[in-house]
A and B are shown apart, each in its own frame.
Chain A
């Protein structure tokens, strides 16, 4: 990795919300302009800091949803009892300012030279950093065999739905959805959790030396990664990013 960017001082920057886009009834993408953004890698995140009138502050982490070189965007899922996500998805408007710090992270990052075959497994909003990887793969013309397994509660909860369907059709990416809670009439795709049975059928065989990225709620990420290791994936080929929370999609 280039060491040049590494010794960079990390400071809070005032960013401007340039656009808001609703992805699903509970999920919104915010495109933000960050002065002096040094560029990011696919899979990195940024920290957001909110400050109330009385000085109270809250900080959270959000993955960068866009590919390197594209305008910085984050995609936020609203948790109804949450402190920060309802603000980001309901209150914040184009033109508002927020403080951000980043990009940060280097472990949960994919570069074309990392190769594959690539297995991306997302639960709920865990799709966000994986979407940046998919866009980066496409942008760089990489032909790494890639399969995305994406677990969502209902069809309506699938983030980036149209984009993922396009990738599936045109770009040599297998996209597999599994709907855990409710399926639309006539749904012939997968249902239920990403468990050993599903992974035995859909994960690249361990013998092909696949590289896996697993992201989502903590319990989801731990269960899926443990299953992959059980299927023979070496732990160092399974990169995990836990988003917190106890529920699963």
Chain B
């Protein structure tokens, strides 16, 4: 048993009057904490490419090709499993509907692969229909490397570890497989509203 430390509250652990917008167990932060499990890759645009593979017609885009795809401005609330939420973040990115195409992907899964070796898994249903982007801009600026630039996945309706930084490749699979944190007991799906932090939650 641990004893309460008199007067300790932790970092501004309130929802800032945003009840209803903040999932259970989360607090609102104004800054943008940097979480990383390894050194920050700095991939120059001329060495960067983005691919889709697996159970899909394989395709690779260079940076220029990727940037000439139609993109959207997305305003979203993001929720990190380490308990901070950040509201009204503004991103620019290419919808996964554009990258994966219109075919029916029911029952399929996506494994995102990143520079630095990070992976995370998502049901294909969750990244289609205007729910996910490969984001290259943040707050009107190019996405900085520490936040995942040149480009990261953005899947705001799931915990933010699913929004993989430095994403380079999406592998379409007909079966599910755990990604990096999912292997270590983090929840396979990660819905912040159902507080699915760890497997079994």
Separation of A58 and B27 alpha carbons in the complex (Å): 15
Asked if A12 contacts B8 (CB within 8 A), the reply is no
A81 to chain B: closest residue by CB: B31
The residues in B between 11 and 56 inclusive whose CB is less than 8 angstroms from any CB of A are 11, 13, 31
A197 at the interface (CB under 8 A from B): no
Asked if B2 contacts A52 (CB within 8 A), the reply is no
Proximity string of chain A (57-82) to chain B, C-beta cutoff 8 Å, 1 when within and 0 when not? 11000000000000000000000010
A37 at the interface (CB under 8 A from B): no
- Our pick among B3, B5, B7, B11 for the contact of A83 (Cβ within 8 Å) is B11
Asked if B5 contacts A50 (CB within 8 A), the reply is yes
Proximity string of chain A (93-117) to chain B, C-beta cutoff 8 Å, 1 when within and 0 when not? 0001111000000000000000000
Proximity string of chain A (31-61) to chain B, C-beta cutoff 8 Å, 1 when within and 0 when not? 0000000000000000001111110111000
Asked if B2 contacts A99 (CB within 8 A), the reply is yes
Asked if B8 contacts A50 (CB within 8 A), the reply is yes
A175 at the interface (CB under 8 A from B): no
Separation of A12 and B3 alpha carbons in the complex (Å): 10
B117 at the interface (CB under 8 A from A): no
B4 at the interface (CB under 8 A from A): yes
Separation of A215 and B8 alpha carbons in the complex (Å): 28
Asked if B6 contacts A96 (CB within 8 A), the reply is yes
Separation of A51 and B8 alpha carbons in the complex (Å): 7
| Smallest beta-carbon distance A87→chain B, Å | 5
B140 at the interface (CB under 8 A from A): no
Separation of A181 and B6 alpha carbons in the complex (Å): 36
Central interface residue in B5, B7, B10, B31, by most chain A CB within 10 Å: B5
Separation of A112 and B179 alpha carbons in the complex (Å): 49
Q: Which label, helix, strand, loop or mixed, suits the secondary structure of the B interface?
A: loop
Separation of A53 and B7 alpha carbons in the complex (Å): 8
Asked if A87 contacts B2 (CB within 8 A), the reply is no
Asked if B8 contacts A87 (CB within 8 A), the reply is yes
Separation of A81 and B11 alpha carbons in the complex (Å): 9
Asked if A52 contacts B4 (CB within 8 A), the reply is yes
B9 at the interface (CB under 8 A from A): yes
Which residues of chain A have C-beta atoms less than 8 A from B10's C-beta? 50, 52, 56, 58, 83
Asked if A52 contacts B3 (CB within 8 A), the reply is no
Asked if A91 contacts B2 (CB within 8 A), the reply is no
Asked if A53 contacts B2 (CB within 8 A), the reply is no
B5 to chain A: closest residue by CB: A50
Which residues of chain A have C-beta atoms less than 8 A from B31's C-beta? 81
Asked if A91 contacts B8 (CB within 8 A), the reply is yes
A53 to chain B: closest residue by CB: B4
Separation of A43 and B28 alpha carbons in the complex (Å): 37
A167 at the interface (CB under 8 A from B): no
Which residues of chain B have C-beta atoms less than 8 A from A96's C-beta? 5-6
The 7 A-B residue pairs whose C-beta atoms are closest, nearest first, are: A50-B5, A83-B11, A50-B8, A51-B2, A91-B7, A56-B10, A52-B10
* A-B contact sample (10 more), CB < 8 A, given A49-B2, A51-B4, A99-B2: A50-B5, A50-B8, A51-B8, A52-B9, A52-B13, A53-B4, A56-B10, A57-B2, A87-B8, A99-B5
Identify 12 residue pairs between A and B in the complex whose beta-carbon atoms are under 8 Å apart, listed by A's number: A51-B2, A51-B5, A52-B13, A58-B8, A81-B31, A83-B11, A91-B6, A91-B7, A91-B8, A96-B5, A97-B5, A99-B5
> Which A residues are within 8 Å of any B CB, using their own CB?
12, 14, 49-54, 56-58, 81, 83, 87, 91, 96-99
